[in-house]
């Protein structure tokens, strides 16, 4: 999946910064791009408002269930033939002992004639895994 390959190449380990998001945007739906940009704006505003505190979205992988992020992934065959298409992704993190393995699901839609990621459904079951979906995480984590 090009999104994850680009994310790894950029070294993105949290909500992407403006520059990182520009590089990732061709692989994202407009709604997911807006949600990630909003989260980045929130992080920036909180850094300015409370400089000594850790702002939301400052660290932790949002593109997989594991906060530390994967060390490898494998895209599986799509589960659907019409949009929205669910694409399982088998992730692993071999830096963990024992190695962690889990499957998340990318929700892919067609936009402007190409397939893009519209959301990610987290699938890991351990206690501190990201839960729900990426869009929900970005929305719920907002503070007034």
How many percent of the chain have pLDDT more than 90?
A: 92
Query: Do 144 and 131 form a contact (C-beta atoms < 8 A)?
Result: no
* Distance, CA of 116 to CA of 26 (rounded, Å): 8
Band of residue 139 on the pLDDT scale cut at 50, 70, 90: confident
Contacts of 103 (CB under 8 A, 6+ apart): 76, 88, 89, 90, 91, 123
What pLDDT is recorded for position 96?
86
Tens digits of residue pLDDT in 68-86 = 999 999 999 999 999 999 9
Domain ranges of the chain: 2-139
* Distance, CA of 103 to CA of 80 (rounded, Å): 16
Tell me the CATH number for domain 2-139. Answer: 3.10.450
Residue 143 has pLDDT above 70, yes or no: no
- Whether the model clears a pTM of 0.85, i.e. scores above it, the answer is yes
Residue 43 has pLDDT above 90, yes or no: yes
């Amino acid at each position: 999946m090009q999104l994850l390959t680009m994310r790894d190449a950029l070294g993105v380990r949290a909500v992407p910064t403006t520059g990182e998001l520009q590089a990732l945007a061709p692989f994202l739906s407009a709604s997911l791009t807006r949600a990630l940009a909003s989260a980045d704006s929130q992080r920036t505003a909180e850094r300015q408002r409370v400089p000594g505190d850790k702002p939301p979205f400052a660290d932790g992988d949002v593109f997989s269930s594991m906060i530390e992020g994967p060390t490898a992934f494998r895209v599986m065959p799509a589960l659907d033939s019409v949009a929205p298409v669910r694409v399982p992704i088998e992730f692993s993190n071999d830096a963990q002992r024992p190695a962690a393995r889990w499957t998340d699901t990318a929700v892919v839609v067609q936009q402007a004639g190409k397939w893009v990621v519209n959301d990610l459904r987290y699938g890991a079951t351990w206690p501190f895994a990201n839960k729900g979906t990426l869009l929900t995480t970005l929305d719920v984590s907002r503070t007034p």
